[in-house]
Amino acid sequence: MSHLTIAPLLLPLLAGVLILLLGERRLAAQRALSLAAVALSIPLALLLLSRAAQGEIAVYALGNWPAPFGIVLVADRLSAFMLTITALLSAFALAHAVRGDDRFGPHFHVLFQLQLFGLNGAFLTGDLFNLFVFFEVLLLASYGLVLHGGGRARTRAGLHYVVINLIGSTLFLFAVGALYGVLGTLNMADLAVKIATLPEAHTGVVRAAGLLLLVVFAIKAALLPLHMWLPGAYAGTSAGVAALFAIMTKVGAYSILRVYTLIFGADAVAGVQWLAEPWLLPLALATLALGVGGALASRALREQIAYLVLASAGTLLVGFGLFSVEGISAGLYYLAHSTFAAAALFLLADRIVLGRGAMADRYEAGPPLPHPRLIGGVFFALAVLIAGLPPLAGFFGKLALLQAALASPALVWIWAVVLIGGLLTVIALARSGSLLFYRAHGVPQAQANNPLGDELSRLAPIFGLLALGLLLVVEGEAVLNYTRATAEQLLVPAPYIEAVLHPVATQEARP
Amino acid sequence: MDALLSIAIGVLTATGVYLTLRGRTFPVVLGLTLLSYAVNVFLFLMGRASVGLPPLIAPEAAGYTDPLPQALVLTAIVIGFAMTAFVVVLALRARAELGNDHVDGLNTGLDETAERQHKGEREDRA
């Protein structure tokens, strides 16, 4: 049993506590510690990724209590993939935040690290109740981060965000309780075993609990009709936080993928088998359509990006909703791409807000931006990236998704919504780009007119995220091979269950 | 006992749902609290209600109660308590910053009774 598996949990927790002990005044030391922890988490995640890539399912039993009696952490391909995305994203979000966002209020770095603790925990845990606890950890940190900096818009959107997530937590507990009451276990692998031999008298309760879980995860993934909290919360918060939150909807998507392939997947008895399948695809398509419609109707840049996050959540859930190797593989590729692209757009929006002074990011003709060619060029590249135009990663993600849809009976619907959605996204972004960069008049804001070198250094995290987008294209084949292997691993849960419940046997069996 | 407890959970949940759907932050907070009470009792009962049995397997006892739901409830209570405290503080801050206690922060500048009269007047006119 390697202790490496628990390191992505301990690192942010330790860093968060140490930063808290440093005190509020020592901002430079806080920043250094926070950056160091995030920088260290990248090689750690890559190490786990390289292990998982060989097909190894690393199981870590906390306190050495064997599953299903103790809590286990499981690092399979999917978990390692999500950990890597989180580590890379958080590094760039933090690199942006240390340039000023973290001054708006105390304890930014503590909350940031605890948020990462919750995220990594949710991705690693192999226990349903533990998943609830890590959801609460990441939510509690995110409540603080959403409100970071204060202001009326943030308070109002934050209130909605907190209340709907509290209701979600209550529903999660009802579902967990019902599952425990019938099946007597909360370990995900053990749940899968128990559900495979579920007596018919109990399928009704388990079905209700399983669909209740879908509601909870749909709140997190902002699936229609539970998306209402997202645009306000994401558009209102500070840029570094919004960038980190690009991964938050993906926690819901991850949980849907994990629970409905492992517990309610191929091995479950009739009645609870593929429980999410009839719901996920139509709702994901509706979410995608709504996100694009919202992006067209938005009156400000950050609101528009928030709706694009919604559209991207819809797109990747379309892939997951196919419940096929190709579909899940395409969805995971799109997940990586859309997380980086949305984060980069939020960071760029921050520069645009500062550059336009009192006009902020509203879609009205305002003063010209400083360095319009540079910022306009970056906006153009990001728009191409997120709209899914060639030659950037979004295009390949959508292409893989459309190919995966070929085998689905809902082929016409998927192609129509994804393609028309893509076209409307291009129109929406072209309109905002021309408003922001061409219809400008008056004099540039004096205080924002900083030298080119400084502007470039402030844009560095965005270039980093763009480079990741490019890497997804250049290494596209390797990434798609990995996501395909991930999907295959998810759709055949037997090795996962074996690794969790009989760890010694599998270790001996391995050459 | 099971029927009584089930009815209690049902009433708590129904009241909680009704209150969370209200338009003011205070009833919403109360509703969330009642919902978390309901779910705590629900979780506790998932280990089956039994009286006078030890939470461990003992040879001289007639049976045992499942200790795991009790541990789960303890965790849920702690988390629920922290969340309630947080949402109360947030509601107070929203009241201070938005000038009223409506969940959408309506900026009417009227208190609740004045708003009702206002609404009544409009309805009268219509």
Q: What is the CATH number of the domain that holds B66?
A: 1.10.287.3510
Cα A59 to its chain centre, rounded Å, is 23
Which SS3 state, helix, strand or coil, does residue A362 take? strand
Count of A-B CB contacts under 8 Å: 80
Nearest CB partner across the interface for B43, out of A140, A150, A177: A177
The total number of residues shown for chain A amounts to 511
| Complex confidence, ipTM | 0.84
pLDDT per residue as tens, chain A (511 positions) = 578 889 999 999 999 999 999 887 888 888 889 999 999 999 999 999 999 888 888 888 888 888 788 899 999 999 999 999 999 999 999 998 888 777 887 888 999 999 999 999 999 999 999 999 999 999 999 988 888 877 777 888 888 899 999 999 999 999 999 999 998 889 999 999 999 888 888 888 999 999 999 999 999 998 888 888 888 888 888 888 899 999 998 999 999 999 999 999 888 888 888 888 889 999 999 999 999 999 999 888 888 999 999 999 999 999 999 889 999 999 999 999 999 999 999 999 888 888 777 777 777 777 777 777 888 888 898 998 888 888 888 888 888 899 888 888 888 899 999 999 999 999 999 988 888 888 777 766 655 567 777 878 888 889 999 999 889 888 888 999 999 999 999 999 888 998 888 876 544 444 3
Chain B 77-116, residues with CB within 8 Å of chain A CB atoms:
79, 82-83, 86-87, 90-91, 93-94, 97-98, 103-105
For residue B77, pLDDT beyond 60? yes
Domain count, chain B: 1
The 3-state secondary structure of B20-69, one letter per residue: HCCCEHHHHHHHHHHHHHHHHHHHHHCCCCCCCCCCCCCCCCCCCCCHHH
Phi, psi for A125 (deg, rounded to 5): -70, 150
Q: Are A85 and A104 in contact (CB under 8 A)?
A: no
pLDDT of residue B110: 47
Q: Measured between CB atoms, does B68 come within 8 Å of chain A?
A: yes
First-to-final CA distance of chain A = 16
The Cα A29–Cα B74 span in angstroms is 37
Domain with B24, as residue range(s), is: 2-125
- DSSP per-residue letters across A31-88: HHHHHHHHHHHHHHHHHHHHHHHTT--EEEEGGGPPTTTS-EEEE-HHHHHHHHHHHH
Chain B residues touching A159 at Cβ < 8 A? 25, 90-91, 94, 103, 105
Nearest CB partner across the interface for B32, out of A150, A158, A166: A166
pLDDT of residue B56: 79
For residue B69, pLDDT beyond 80? yes
pLDDT of residue A339: 93
Q: Are A486 and A329 in contact (CB under 8 A)?
A: yes
Q: Which of A364, A259, A253 is CA-nearest to residue A309?
A: A253
The b-or-e profile of A460-497 (16+ CB within 10 A means b, else e) is: ebbebbbebbebbbeeeeebbebbbbbbebbeebeebb
